[in-house]
Amino acid sequence: MDTELLKGTLSLLILSLLSRKAMYGYQIAATVHADTDGAFQWREGSLYPALHKLEQAKLIAGEWEDTDAGRKRRYYRLTAKGRAALTEKTAAWAELCRAVNRVLEVSNGPA
């Protein structure tokens, strides 16, 4: 999939995934990979700047936790502000999809 398309949707994907439960970075990347059957071919390093931007905007909050294996993971969870932003972004995304689909249907005919 075009990585430029992914860039615009990365924030929405992160907020959406975190609405399920708190996750750490690698877990988010692995879930995206699993849920899309590997359709998103992205640089995993892009995930962290996006996470940190969302955290700076207080849409998500990160917290370090120790694991039983002696590792440390930074879990991110959605904030109230993030939940509102997710609702807003989801609606905007649905509207965008409908608009794009209408154009595609007119051009190509109904699927």
Partner 1 sequence: MDPLERYLDQVCRSIGGPRPLRDHVRQELREHLHDAAARHRAAGLSDEAAVAQALAEFGHPEQVRSELEATHGHRAMAVVIDTALRWKEGTMRAKWLWATGAHLGLALVIALEAAFITFLVVFIVPRFHKLMRDGIIDPAVLDEHGVSWMPAYLNSLSTVAGGYTTWLVLGAAVLWGLFEWRVKSENKSLMRLAVMGGAAVKLLAVIVLATGSMLVSMMLAAPATGQMARPFAAEQVKAVDTAAEAVESAVAKPDWAAATEQADRASAALTRLTAGPALASLTGWEPPTTDDLRARVKEAQDHLRAVRQALDAKGTDRATAELAEFRKAFAPVREAARREGR
Binding-site ranges for partner 1 (CB under 8 A): 24-26, 29, 43-46, 48-49, 52-53, 56, 64, 71-74
The nearer residue to partner 1, 35 or 44, going by C-beta atoms, is 44
The nearer residue to partner 1, 67 or 107, going by C-beta atoms, is 67
Cβ-based neighbours of 54, under 8 Å, separated by 6 or more: 11, 14, 15, 60, 76, 82
Q: How far is the CB of 59 from partner 1 (least distance, A)?
A: 14
- Beta strands of 1-111 (E only): which ranges? 23-24, 60-66, 72-78
